[in-house]
Structure 1
């Protein structure tokens, strides 16, 4: 309730000892609560059951419309175009091969100190190539009409993982000579992930729940040919 001291929440908490049960009055005074703060309390009650029109509104965004118009299924994989912020973004992205080469040289010094990691990290790229997730850029296509960007990379080791103990992480936020990166020119778009609480609530509907994981999920998606040159690495 609202009082001259601010919003007040009052109740009794019952506690039991070996000899008797007694109640302790509790008083919580909240000096200043805005209407927006109060709305957050009510919003918690609607997690997972928000109006459907809020979810459908995501499809009205420019990025999602472009995605729907360019995504296609090619040779057993979905192929997508990169969500460029505008048409001029590609022209502003500079070739950062020299910068990427310097980072790779520094990283190779670290790898030389751990021969086992170097060997296992090489296996990661070998598997990418055998699974047709990466390919060597033909010499005659190294210099072309498309924008070029090289992503530095490092290994991430997770020995507890049952499927991928070592994986490579590519840095698309590495800056070019003009101080911008590939990430700066790409739109993040709306989040299409289902609400976690909503998914957990579904587990209450049936007696058995089954979960699964897609191995190397993001690597199963191809990038359309005219955008692949900004996904290069050394």
Structure 2
């Protein structure tokens, strides 16, 4: 069930759909491959039992590690370690990407005093509340470090948050790793769509 045979090519599929010159044996073979492929569980978003079990084991280990390393400070803020997946040894600092994004942000989005002031206020508020902090020079050589680019999302119709800052930990140089590539995703906290559909009352 989990073995994947060679799939029909796009040309073969087009020929079957358009009725182009293919003998009946070739057409039947291509259609059989298409039918078999359509029922493979990986295309349906369903993982094989072994993969599910391995992921569950890993997620349990990540939760144990989280509980063992999480620290609450005097302000009741919880500090946790990144769940690195051992790829962080090859993580570059992404500095050039972050600088390029910042220049683009200033030149294309922060073009008026209102937006610039709002952006500045958010940065200062996050500094004051401890959401972000200035990285000491001495810590730059302690473990992997990565400059995370950010961008600004404007919603002028919002009554509360007209501007917010969004970071991009998936950014990277060509052929390089991103921060997200070096971190285990961990267990999903979203409810299973299958469970939601099964518990819904039928619509009549």
Tell me, yes or no, if structure 1 residue 65 matches structure 2 residue 64: yes
Counterparts of 2:110 and 2:69 in 1: how far apart (Å)? Answer: 43
In 2, the alpha carbon distance for the partners of 1:95 and 1:62 equals 28
Structure with higher helix content: 2
Aligned residues: 149
- Larger strand proportion, structure 1 or 2? 1
8 Å Cα contact 1:95/1:150 also seen in 2: yes
**Equivalent residue for 1:123?**
121
Structure-2-length-normalised TM-score: 0.60
1:44-123 matches, within 5 Å, as 61-75=60-74, 76-86=76-86, 89-123=87-121
Q: Distance in 1 between matches of 2:146 and 2:174?
A: 12
Which of 166, 169, 172 aligns to 2:166? It is 169
Larger radius of gyration, structure 1 or 2? Answer: 1
TM-fit CA distance, 1:114 = 2.9
Unaligned residue ranges in structure 2 (runs of 5+): 1-34, 45-52, 200-204
CA deviations over 1:156-212 (Å, ceiling 9, x no partner)? 1234445433211011011146421101111111112356886xx8xxxxxxxxxxx
Higher relative contact order, structure no. (Cα contacts within 8 Å, ≥ 6 residues apart): 1
| TM-score w.r.t. length of structure 1 | 0.53
| Whole-angstrom CA distance in 1 between matches of 2:140 and 2:39 | 58
1:84-123 CA-to-partner distances (Å, cap 9, x unmatched) read 112xx22111122122112211221113533321221111
Asked if structure 1 preserves the Cα contact closer than 8 Å seen for 2:109 and 2:152, the reply is no
* Structural RMSD (CA): 3.2
Unaligned runs of 5+ in 1: 1-31, 41-53, 202-234
Aligned to 1:143: 140
- CA gap of 1:72–1:66, structure 2 versus 1, over 3 A, is same
